[in-house]
């Protein structure tokens, strides 16, 4: 049998013992708990509620939160590693964990006050899902064309407007909401607020019927005179654009990790399939044309993985990671679509049915080139940094 098909996965990058143990534990969890639920959650378009307590119990919902606040006290790199492993089985579950760690927790850790750390991070580490609320119907790639407004009324702020396409909208208990407090100042009026579930005037609206990552909730949020106390302002008033930009730069690495894991999962299923499926009297994995395609996919996945790992390591080291994050997200998301498509081809007619899981990976992959900055936005970022 071809060593291309049956050999062990190559060494990825140097992992510490703790990183390896954490990754292996998450891999076992994903295969034991996510795999049996993935198809059912995709069809039902909702997360199995039994999974959320498991994710918290394993420490996956507060990876960088300090241990004194109930978190794992680990690194951003480990967050990316965990998102990758979950995505090998179900990218819809992985994005819930990704948004929690790379967007919501990162924003509060970087921009929150000590009091906000104690109050919000401890909740996020133990039992509260977070959501990151920037996008609106008219504010996608032009992220700062916000129609959502906030004005001061006494000591409090009052938010009015709508948000669209918010990941974790259904499950969240805490929402980072961006609104403009001074439209005449343009993006310099944007401010970040922490809105808690149950606040009067706040409603979770329509849940989107999506092509992929269907276990993940994507919802509209409605704010009607939602009153927020001053202690729930995240960062300085008028500096929300910095919170948004810098957090999204980190979040792109998480999406890159999601796409790497997704592609690896699709390839894993395909490697098994081509060793079982026979045509012309032998397994199709014995044909050189199939072997070459498997080899190309494995190489592309590894290239994307190393781009993602490099960006995550740079972020942890306090180095400039902006271009590395854009490159990782751009390449990984487009790679995942190519790999998932080819995996369907190698499954033949079966790949076009729901009897085999590769069609789900194909549907899940599409979002990678869209959310947290489209591929063209990543290209623009990379080009600007090269040409400045």
Kindly list the catalytic residues: 372
Q: Which two tokens stand for residue 283?
A: 């397994």
**From start to end of 211-260, where are the E strands?**
218-228, 233-234
Give the residue carrying structure tokens 């790949």. Answer: 351
Q: Do residues 83 and 72 touch, judged by C-beta distance below 8 A?
A: no
Give dist(CA 107, CA 350) in Å, integer. 43
Q: Do residues 78 and 59 touch, judged by C-beta distance below 8 A?
A: no
Q: Do residues 70 and 299 touch, judged by C-beta distance below 8 A?
A: no
Measure the CA dihedral 57/306/21/74, to 10°: -50
DSSP state of 179: E
Residue 14: partners with Cβ closer than 8 Å, 6 or more residues away:
none
**From start to end of the chain, where are the E strands?**
130-133, 149-153, 156-167, 174-180, 190-196, 202-207, 218-228, 233-234, 278-279, 282-283
Q: Do residues 167 and 217 touch, judged by C-beta distance below 8 A?
A: yes
């Amino acid at each position: 049998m071809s060593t291309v098909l049956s050999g062990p996965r190559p060494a990825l990058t140097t992992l510490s013992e703790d990183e390896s143990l954490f990754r292996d534990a998450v891999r076992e969890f994903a295969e034991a708990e996510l795999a049996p639920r993935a198809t059912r959650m995709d069809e039902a378009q909702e997360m199995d509620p039994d999974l959320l307590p498991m994710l918290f119990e394993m420490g996956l919902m507060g990876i960088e939160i300090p241990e004194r606040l109930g978190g794992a006290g680990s690194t951003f790199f480990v967050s990316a590693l965990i998102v990758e492993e979950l995505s090998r089985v179900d990218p819809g579950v992985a994005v819930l964990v990704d948004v929690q760690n790379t967007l919501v927790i990162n924003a509060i850790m970087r921009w929150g006050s000590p009091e906000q750390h104690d109050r919000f991070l401890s909740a996020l580490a133990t039992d509260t899902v977070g959501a990151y609320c920037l996008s609106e119907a008219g504010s996608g790639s032009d992220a700062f064309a916000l129609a959502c407004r906030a004005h001061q009324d006494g000591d409090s702020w009052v938010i009015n407007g709508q948000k669209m396409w918010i990941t974790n909208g259904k499950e969240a208990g805490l929402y980072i909401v961006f609104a403009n407090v001074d439209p005449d100042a343009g993006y310099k009026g944007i401010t970040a607020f922490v809105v808690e579930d149950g606040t009067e005037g706040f409603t979770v609206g329509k849940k989107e019927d999506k092509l992929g990552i269907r276990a993940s909730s994507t919802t509209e949020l409605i704010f009607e005179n939602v009153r927020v106390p001053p202690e729930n302002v995240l960062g300085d008033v008028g500096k929300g654009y910095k919170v948004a930009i810098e957090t999204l730069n980190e979040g792109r690495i998480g999406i890159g990790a999601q796409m790497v894991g997704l592609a690896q999962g699709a390839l894993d299923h395909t490697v098994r399939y081509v060793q079982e499926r026979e045509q012309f009297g032998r397994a199709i994995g014995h044909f050189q044309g199939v072997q070459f395609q498997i080899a190309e996919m494995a190489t592309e996945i590894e290239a994307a993985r190393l781009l993602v790992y490099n960006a995550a390591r740079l972020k942890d080291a306090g180095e400039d990671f902006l271009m590395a994050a854009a490159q990782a997200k751009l390449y990984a998301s487009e790679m995942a679509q190519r790999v998932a498509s080819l995996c369907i081809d190698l499954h033949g007619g079966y790949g076009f049915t729901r009897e085999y899981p590769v069609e789900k990976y194909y549907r899940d992959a599409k979002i990678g080139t869209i959310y947290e900055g489209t591929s063209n936005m990543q290209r623009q970022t990379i080009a600007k940094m090269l040409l400045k």
